[in-house]
Amino acid sequence: MRSMTERPTHEAGWLEKRLPIVSVFRREYVDFPMPRNLNSLWSFGAFAMVALGLLVLSGIFLAINYTPTMADAFASIETIDRRVASGWLVRAIHMGGVSMLFATLYVHMGRSLYYGSYKTPRELIWLTGTGLLAMVMITAFAGYILPWGQMSYWGATVVINAVNAVPGIGHPLASWLLGGDGLGDVALHRFYVLHFVTAFSILGVIALHVASIHVSGSNNPTGVDPQGPDDTVPFHPYYTSKDGLGICLFLAVYAVLIFFLPNLLTLSDNYVMANPVVTPKDITPEWYFAPFYAILRAVPSRLGGLVLAAGSIAVLFAVPWLDRSPVRSARYRPLLKIALPVLFFSFFMLGMAGMHAPTAPWLWVSRLCVAYWYAYFLIMLPLLPKIEKTYPVPVALQGQN
C-alpha cells in the first residue's frame, strides 16, 4: 500500500507531466542565473512591480465606488474618502502608488541608460520598458482626470488644446477622443475606460518585458556578459533576499508618504470640484508630469510644444540605434560619464520648471534643458563613440562590484 507521504509526490509528478508549472517556475525564478555583481539599482524593477500591484488592487476597489459622470464623479470621490470604510486609506494607497511607481520607473530607466542595458542583445528589453513608461503615463493622465477636481479639469484642457493645435487632424482627433467638442459625460466615461484598459494592458507588456529579460539575460554594472558559472549566482536566495529587504524599505517610504505626507499626493485645487468658468491661478501638474509640461510650455507655439513633448519620449525608442559604442557601461566611457549626469540634472530641472509659472527665469531653464535633452540623444550619443577613448573593460565579472 502506498504511504500517505508518497501521494503528494505522485500527484505533483502527474501534474508536472501534463502542465510543468513547477519546473518552469523553478528554472526561471529560482535557479535562473544572474550576474553576481548587481547593485541595489537593480531592485527598482521589483519596487515598480510592487507599486503596480498595489495600484491595480486599490484601483479595483475604487472603481466599485466611482461614478464616471460630471454630476457624480467628484461626489463619489468624496464618498470614498469620508463614508466608505477605509476608503480614504485605499485612495491614499492609489495616489501614493502613482508617485512611487513613477519614481521607481525614472530611476529604473536612468540606471539602464547609465549601464547601457539597451544595447545588443537587449534592445527588446529597452523597447518594452520604454513602451511601459508611455503606457503608464497615458494611464496616469486618464486617472488624473477622473476625480473631476479643478486641476484635473484644467490639466486635461491644456492637453486637449495642444492636440487641437495639430494642423488638419487635431480637432477631429480631439473630438473623436472626447466624443464631442469638449470635456463632458462622454469624455469622462471614455477616460475611465481608457484608464482601466491601459492599466491591465500594462500587465501584458510587463510579461513581455520579463520574458525578454529571461531570454537575453540581465545586464550588470560592468556591461560584460557572464563568461561562466563563476560569474553568476542563482536568483534565489541571493537576489530574492536582496530585493525582499529593498521592498521592505520601499514600503516604509510608501507608508511615510501615505500617513505623514498626504498633501504631497495631490494639489489642493483638486479638492475643489471642477468649474469650467473659473481658471486656477496656476495650472500645475503632478510632479511626475512636470518635466513634460515644462517642455510643452518651452516654446510659444502650442503645436511646437506638443511635438517637443511627444518627441522627448519618442526619441527614447531610438536609443539602441543612436548609441553605437561597443562599450555598454558608462563606467568605462569618460565622456558619457559626464554627459549623462548632466542629462539627469536637466530632467530634474525640467521638473522644477514645470512646477513653477512660466516666468522668464524658469522659461529659459526649460529651453536650455530641452535643448540639452535633444542634443544628448541626437548629437552626443552618435558622436561620442567616434571621439571617446574608453577605459579598459574587464573580461570577467569575478571580483567586480
The answer to whether 209 is annotated as binding is yes
Q: Looking at residue 326, what is its pLDDT?
A: 94
- DSSP one-letter code for 376: I
The question of whether 242 is a catalytic residue gets the answer yes
The answer to whether 189 is annotated as binding is no
Selected catalytic residue, list 212, 286, 312, 323: 286
The question of whether 3 is a catalytic residue gets the answer no
Give per-residue pLDDT as tens, 37-79.
999 999 999 999 999 999 999 999 999 999 999 999 999 999 9
Coil, strand or helix: which one is 209? helix
Selected catalytic residue, list 231, 243, 269, 323: 243
The answer to whether 94 is annotated as binding is yes
- DSSP one-letter code for 283: -
The answer to whether 171 is annotated as binding is no
Lowest mean pLDDT across 243-247, 282-286, 374-378: 282-286
**271 has a pLDDT exceeding 60:** yes
**1 has a pLDDT exceeding 50:** no
Q: How far is CA 65 from the centre of its chain?
A: 27
Selected catalytic residue, list 43, 76, 112, 218: 218
Give per-residue pLDDT as tens, 93-134.
999 999 999 999 999 999 999 999 999 999 999 999 999 999
**Residue found under cell 506638443:** 306
The question of whether 243 is a catalytic residue gets the answer yes
Mean pLDDT score across all residues of the chain: 92
**304 has a pLDDT exceeding 80:** yes
**392 has a pLDDT exceeding 90:** yes
Q: Looking at residue 4, what is its pLDDT?
A: 44
Q: Looking at residue 143, what is its pLDDT?
A: 95
Given CATH 3.40.605.10, say whether it is the number of domain 39-280.
no
> What are the helix (H) ranges across 355-393?
360-375, 381-387
Percent of the chain with pLDDT over 70: 96
> What are the helix (H) ranges across 282-375?
290-296, 302-317, 319-322, 336-354, 360-375
Each domain of the chain, given as residue ranges in start order, spans 39-280, 289-395
The question of whether 17 is a catalytic residue gets the answer no
Selected catalytic residue, list 16, 31, 181, 214: 214
Give per-residue pLDDT as tens, 232-241.
999 999 999 9
**258 has a pLDDT exceeding 80:** yes
Q: Looking at residue 181, what is its pLDDT?
A: 76
Strand partners, 234: 33
Selected catalytic residue, list 171, 236, 242, 337: 242
The question of whether 218 is a catalytic residue gets the answer yes
**H/E segment holding residue 107:** helix 87-115
Gyration radius of the chain over CA positions:
24
